[in-house]
């Protein structure tokens, strides 16, 4: 913002803000990322490029890498080219962004709707120069974040605290919905250009992929979003040779940032649609081609990571195909009933859990478990519950580890005053990474109690004796990633993630051939979750994430004019609701991860966002023959594509 205004009454504050006289000098602008990438109008740095990554493998892993990949592709039997685009997506969490801030003798206090208390804490140390023990950040009950409450709450908290410091009074700063949509970060729009080569029998050989993300006006989390995007760009498939370039560019639009999937949905959309294009070129059924080239044990990703264990991709495909009767329905072909056509399509994908590469090792996330009177355990962690069930699952993990009932375990409200820094609630890491620390800490405390426990004595009685003797019994545990994880951040080679969750989506759709409205009739999904600690919550995450993916696929679109959002309201930015959800058949595949808690759990929070859109696009193509490679698949866009294809025939 240009200025901050506070008053006792919101209407008075609004009047005061309107009274401000602002002098503006109009500068050249660019709102299209592909135009920004040309660098003809420079608005950031020397060429508008904010960040760049390059991944090379096989024949492309040489000094003249681009020339080498071009030669490798040219030598293939079949060469396929494609361009795939996605648009913004708004998180649209339940309550908009908001913070309350005040100062007292202990320092500054802020509380609000947020995902990452220690992100806000770090921002205050930098902005106000305060010592850590004088910054008190507490999460209020939060109705979803989806990444949108990862970094942005730091800004609002600082604004509220600054106003509070200036006024000497507590300040409540809460966006209304329009302000929230207009100002906060969104999913990055993307353009991916792919050239690939394969053998005549469909064996994939070489991949060349250029990934372009629209960062908006500021850097925010774009570099790490782009990183995860390029790391997932090869999809769930085997490529002998690969050249993947990722770039983010600045535009004169609101900045983009974290959103569920964190860059992977954009590149998985591209690679899945490209696999459909290869199948089209070869006259093959797409699901069969994808299964032929699916990564398995001993295969390597474009970074050279060799997959070792917990690889449930093949089982996910088999079960999703069987439950949906996918192969028979594809052979039968599209079903027509009057002016409606029905088709079926699939997407196969994987998603890395935890921070990329050495991230978890550098983060050093910690959890504390305290022994309380009556033999109860108290978990202190900065991992927030934003509706995904963190408190419940942490309670289950600790209770099982200590051999207690769930009623004997409590979880602290995430407040930087009382809890250690477990790392942010992002990156599908809460259960897989932080949950494993909870498990270790709970076992440690339980062992201390059991070591002094006498024959016939209850755990509670032994715990009380131990507390009386020592005063305090606490286990503070730091996460240690598997020792075999090796990552070269400069070369972008090695083990990008310790493990991947896998998933196969099958969508069945009906397309109205007059209006081109798409209805998802049925959706089957088989997900390798490692170990389902809480199967009900697993299904909830998978189905909720997929519904979000359906919205991205079919209807969610921000309309822009000169860098300004024209539909910043819930009346004109449309998302699917529970009434729009198709019948889901959700299959939990369990390929346990050796380092996961509760018998091998993996992170799945972001996984379901990745594959819904390409599965639906494949189903639309099967039903109508319309090839749609840009999102969303609105009736208007499909109508234009149908007209174009009709004119070309």
Q: Is the pLDDT of residue 363 over 90?
A: yes
Tokens read off for 365: 């996330």
> Do residue 552 and residue 431 come from a single domain?
no
- Please count the structural domains in the chain: 4
Tell me which residue has tokens 């075999």.
484
Q: 97, 91, 214, 83: which is closest to 556 by C-alpha? A: 91
Q: Are residues 171 and 199 in the same domain?
A: no
For position 110, which CATH number holds?
Answer: 3.30.365.10
Does 159 share its domain with 112?
yes
- Could you tell me if residue 490 is inside a domain? no
pLDDT of residue 563: 84
Q: Which residue shows structure tokens 């040309």?
A: 38
For the stretch 105-142, pLDDT in tens is 999 999 999 999 999 999 999 999 999 999 999 999 99
Which single residue is written with the structure tokens 């947020």?
A: 114
CA distance 420 to 366: 6
Using the predicted structure, report yes or no on whether residue 630 has a pLDDT greater than 90: yes
Q: State the residue range of the domain holding 442.
A: 365-478
Range 637-643 average pLDDT: 97
Domain shared by 448 and 575, yes or no: no
**296 in the same domain as 337:** no
Domain shared by 579 and 636, yes or no: yes
Q: Is the pLDDT of residue 598 over 90?
A: yes
Q: Mean pLDDT, to the nearest integer, of 431-437?
A: 98
| Domain end residue (candidates: 164, 183, 202) | 183
Token pair of 275 as six digits:
């696999």
Q: What is the mean pLDDT of residues 224-240?
A: 99
Instruction: Indicate the Cα dihedral angle 416, 420, 421, 425, nearest 10°.
Output: -80
The model scores a pTM over 0.85: yes
Token readout for 491 is 């070369």
292 and 316 together in one domain: no
Q: Among residues of the chain, what percentage have pLDDT more than 90?
A: 98
Question: Nearest to residue 424, comparing CAs of 411, 437, 433, 413?
Answer: 433
Boundary (domain end) residue, out of 133, 154, 183? 183
| Average pLDDT, rounded, for the chain | 98
β partners of residue 502? 350, 528
Whole-angstrom distance, CA of residue 395 vs CA of residue 438? 9
* 483 is a domain residue: no
Q: What is the mean pLDDT of residues 323-346?
A: 97
Phi and psi at 210, nearest 5°, equal -110, 125
22: left (phi over 0), alpha (psi -120 to 50) or beta: beta
Residue 9 forms part of a structural domain: no
- Cβ burial of 472 (10 Å; 0-12, 13-18, 19+) is exposed
CA–CA distance, 479 with 595 (Å, rounded to integer): 11
Query: Do 452 and 587 sit in the same domain of this protein?
Result: no
Contact criterion met (CB below 8 Å) for 98 and 232: no
| Residue 471 pLDDT grade (very low, low, confident, very high; cuts 50, 70, 90) | very high
Q: So what's the pLDDT on residue 351?
A: 99
- C-alpha–C-alpha distance, residues 582 and 521, integer Å: 6
Residues 60 and 208 grouped into a single domain:
yes
Q: Residue 345 pairs with which residues in a beta bridge?
A: 507
Residue 559 has pLDDT above 90, yes or no: yes
Q: Please report whether residue 26 resides in a domain.
A: no
Q: Are 237 and 116 in contact (CB under 8 A)?
A: no
Nearest to 264 by CA among 211, 328, 325: 211
Q: What is the DSSP string of 150-213?
A: TSHHHHHHHHHHHHHHHHTS-EEEE--HHHHHHHS--PPPEEEEEEEEE-TTS-EEEEEEEEEE
179 and 195 co-located in one domain: no
Task: Assess contact for 193 and 210: CB atoms under 8 A.
Answer: yes
Select from 97, 182, 179 the least CA-distant residue to 142. 97
Q: Assign 90 a pLDDT band (cuts: 50, 70, 90).
A: very high
Residue 562, pLDDT score: 83
Q: Both 144 and 229 in a single domain?
A: no
- Average pLDDT (539-543) is 98
Residue 453 in any domain: the answer is: yes
- Overall average pLDDT of the 636-641 stretch: 97
Instruction: Work out the widest C-alpha separation in the chain, in whole angstroms.
Output: 86
Sorted by sequence, the CB contacts under 8 Å of residue 179 that are 6+ apart come out as: 96
**Helix-strand-coil split of the chain, %, nearest 5:** 35, 25, 40
Instruction: Kindly state whether residue 16 falls inside one of the protein's structural domains.
Output: no
For residues 259 and 146, is the Cβ–Cβ distance under 8 A? yes
Do 140 and 63 fall into the same domain? no
Tell me whether residue 460 is in a domain: yes
Boundary residue ending a domain (162, 183, 204)? 183
Lookup: tokens for 298: 């001993």
pLDDT, tens digit, 9 for 90 and up, residues 176-200:
999 999 999 999 999 999 999 999 9
Share of the chain above pLDDT 70, in %: 100
- Give the single-character DSSP code of 598: G
Is 158 part of any domain?
Answer: yes
Judge whether 595 and 310 are in contact, CB under 8 Å.
no
503 — pLDDT class (breaks 50, 70, 90): very high
- Closest listed residue to residue 91, CA positions, set 461, 570, 505: 570
Cross-strand pairs, 565: 560
């Amino acid at each position: 913002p240009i200025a901050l205004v506070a008053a006792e009454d919101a209407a008075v504050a609004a009047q005061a803000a309107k009274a401000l006289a602002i002098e503006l000098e109009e500068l050249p602008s660019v709102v299209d990322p592909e135009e920004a990438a040309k660098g003809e109008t420079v608005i950031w740095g020397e060429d508008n490029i904010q960040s760049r990554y390059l991944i090379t493998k096989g024949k492309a892993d040489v000094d003249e890498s681009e020339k080498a990949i071009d030669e490798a592709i040219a030598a293939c039997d079949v060469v396929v080219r494609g361009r795939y685009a996605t648009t913004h997506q708004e998180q649209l969490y339940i309550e908009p962004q908001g913070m309350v801030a005040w100062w007292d003798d202990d320092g500054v206090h802020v509380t609000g709707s947020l995902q990452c208390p220690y992100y806000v804490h770090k921002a205050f140390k930098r902005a106000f120069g305060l010592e850590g023990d004088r910054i008190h950040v507490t999460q209020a009950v939060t109705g979803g974040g989806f990444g949108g409450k990862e970094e942005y709450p730091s800004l609002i908290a600082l604004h509220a605290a600054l106003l509070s410091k200036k006024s000497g009074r507590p300040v409540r700063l809460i966006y209304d919905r329009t302000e929230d949509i207009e100002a906060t970060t969104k999913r990055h729009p993307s353009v991916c250009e792919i050239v690939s080569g394969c053998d005549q029998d469909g064996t994939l050989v070489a991949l060349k992929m250029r990934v372009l993300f629209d960062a908006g006006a500021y850097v925010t989390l774009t570099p790490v979003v782009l990183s995860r995007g390029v790391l997932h760009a090869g999809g769930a498939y085997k490529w002998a040779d690969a050249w993947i370039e990722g770039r983010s560019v600045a535009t004169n639009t609101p900045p983009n940032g974290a959103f569920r999937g964190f860059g992977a949905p954009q590149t998985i959309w591209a690679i899945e649609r490209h696999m459909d294009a290869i199948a089209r070129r070869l006259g093959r059924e797409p699901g069969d081609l994808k299964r032929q080239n699916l990564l398995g044990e001993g295969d390597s990703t474009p970074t050279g990571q060799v997959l070792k264990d917990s690889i449930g991709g093949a089982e996910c495909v088999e079960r999703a195909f069987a439950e949906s009767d996918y192969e028979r329905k594809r052979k039968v072909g599209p079903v027509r009933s009057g002016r409606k056509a029905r088709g079926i399509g699939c997407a196969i994908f994987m998603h890395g859990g935890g921070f990329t590469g050495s991230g978890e090792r550098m983060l050093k996330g910690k959890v504390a478990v305290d022994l309380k009177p009556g033999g109860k355990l108290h978990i202190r962690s900065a991992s927030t519950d934003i509706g995904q069930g963190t408190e419940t699952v942490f309670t289950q993990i600790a209770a099982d580890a200590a051999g207690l009932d769930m009623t004997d375990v409590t979880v602290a409200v995430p407040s930087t005053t009382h809890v250690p820094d477990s790392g942010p609630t992002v990156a599908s890491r809460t259960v897989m990474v932080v949950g494993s620390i909870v498990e270790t800490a709970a076992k440690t405390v339980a062992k201390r109690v059991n070591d002094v426990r006498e024959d016939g004595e209850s755990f509670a009685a032994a715990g009380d004796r131990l507390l009386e003797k020592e005063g305090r019994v606490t286990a503070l545990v730091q996460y240690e990633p598997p020792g075999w994880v090796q990552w070269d951040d400069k070369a972008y080679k090695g083990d990008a993630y310790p493990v991947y969750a896998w998933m196969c989506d099958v969508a069945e759709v009906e397309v109205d051939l007059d209006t081109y409205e798409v209805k998802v009739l049925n959706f089957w999904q088989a997900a390798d979750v490692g170990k389902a600690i809480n199967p009900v919550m697993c299904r909830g995450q998978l189905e909720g994430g997929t519904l979000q993916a359906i919205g991205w696929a079919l209807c969610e679109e921000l309309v822009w004019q000169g860098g300004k959002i024209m539909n910043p309201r819930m009346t004109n930015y449309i998302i699917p609701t529970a009434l729009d959800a198709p019948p889901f058949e959700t299959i939990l595949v369990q390929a346990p991860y050796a380092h996961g808690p509760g018998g091998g759990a993996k992170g799945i929070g972001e996984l379901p966002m990745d594959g819904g859109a390409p599965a639906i696009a494949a189903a639309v193509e099967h039903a109508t023959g319309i090839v749609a490679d840009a999102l969303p698949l609105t009736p208007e866009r499909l109508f234009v594509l149908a007209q174009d294809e009709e004119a070309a025939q």
